Structure 1
């Protein structure tokens, strides 16, 4: 489920320049996870790290 939430969050980021800026300005992965969670897309820092590694 976390991977699906991650995908849904980044699909939303792709469509929203303001959200893109928030993610860009995030100081660390915990901040990105917090942004996503606030928008109803819960996933873990570990899921984000796996996504970033490819």
Structure 2
């Protein structure tokens, strides 16, 4: 992803965020945090799996 594309994406996200209230933002934050945790867990499992073989 190039810088311009990233910049436009951020601009779009900012526009959307301004329409959200605090409750929405908290839910989104929770979702992101749990997704990150899940991804980390999956990542470590796949690394273990590959290192065994």
In the superposition, the TM-score normalised over structure 2's length comes to: 0.35
Structure 1 or 2, whichever has the larger Rg, is 2
Higher share in helix: 2
- TM-score, structure 1 normalization: 0.35
